[in-house]
Structure 1
Amino acid sequence: MSNHQKRLSVPKSWPVERKTATFTAKAGAGPHGEAGVPLVVVLRDVLEYVDTTKEAKYAAHNDSVLVNGDTVRDVTLPIGMFDILGFPEREEYYRVFPDEGGRLALTEIPAADADGKLAKVVDKTLVSGGDVQLNLHNGHNIVVEEDEYSGNDSIVVDLESDDVLAHFPYEEGALVTAVSGQHAGEVGEVTDITVSPGSADNTVEVETDDGSFETVESYVFVIDEQFVGDEEGEEE
């Protein structure tokens, strides 16, 4: 199996130039599905910390790269929405955030904000003992004692303990960003949620500073004001 991916056919979320070369790195196994961008692409093409895959592997094997608080060795690991990247030697930390057009962008954040990761509750299940398991958008699951969460809510999860640090309900008035579709990267307030009958997708109306848009419910992600503030910082 090839270790390369043709640039012209990479997902729209990948922040790479499509006509500068024929191939780019191929994502390995991991969360985020096909939208996940290989770590080597982030290090080489976005941050420009390295020039080659060999240099990226050297950095990873010297514990210079953290993804969601963990040391990473595999430079093909897919990086996706709201992941936290850390470079302790540089004292630099980034959150993956959607920019306009749906491409993944990096927003620099303070070290103090790199201990927790935003995640979307996809669904929840009851586990033995009466606790509730929250199934998150990135494939991660956590168990909570109190059932105060609903599908499409967002939570901030402590990267070390899996404790829930913050909870942002999905409801009218919530601040959201679109992470997919033609409005990806736009931020606004939910003004209406339409529950569709049968198997049709629910839709949501979002009011922005420039107007409003309607999109599929699964395309929006509840965020907090601090994430809007982060966008005003340095982006790569």
Structure 2
Amino acid sequence: MVEALIFDVFGTCVDWRASVAREVAAVLPEVDAEAFATAWRGEYDPAMARIREGARGYVPLDDLHLENLDTVARAFGVRVPDRLALNAAWERLDPWPDVIQGLAALKRLAMIAPCSNGSIALMTRLARHAGLPWDCILGADLARGYKPQPEVYLASCAALRLPPEAVMMVAAHNSDLAAARAVGLRTGFVARPREHGPGQVQDLRPESDWDVIAEDFADLAAQILVLRSRGEVSCAGA
């Protein structure tokens, strides 16, 4: 029985690209804001990879984002007048239109929490900005590592005192779900075909037989409700 749903956040719950581009445009009007936001996000995985591979100890994503901002600013040949203020753009990302209502419906059926590479501080401030009604904050800070490392998913399950098979990972990224499934979690896929803009070519469709494949969070809630009626999901309020 699924007793908790844990969520990828960047891309799955919030539109990082448009939100960060808006913040960049306000601070650096001389640059292509969408290109800058995309380049900033492009430094995300390489920065985490060094930590996953053991070349560097754990560094919270807030600090990696700031380092990556400096790298991208140099590449664009610009000086950021207030680095810390612009770095906080990652705390002011807007949710996709279906997310708030969908999470509210899901919260009535099971515990809900982020399992993000964002720090607890970042995820808490983002939740306050976007109105994300989490029951708690899970993810990278607990494990002191980054997805798709197995310990990130397992630490989230352990924090809830649940076995992996009682937890469903929800994400718009097939690779995230594959890593979660590999350590025993259930999986839910929701496509976000606009995450990377009009030219997106990845994660447009499910690439495996995930446990739930939904059109949006409202559809995810409807399918979870069906699972609950079959006795496969435990109601959090029961």
TM bracket, shorter-chain basis: under 0.3
Normalised TM-score (structure 1): 0.24
Bigger fraction of residues in helix = 2
Bigger fraction of residues in strand = 1
Normalised TM-score (structure 2): 0.24
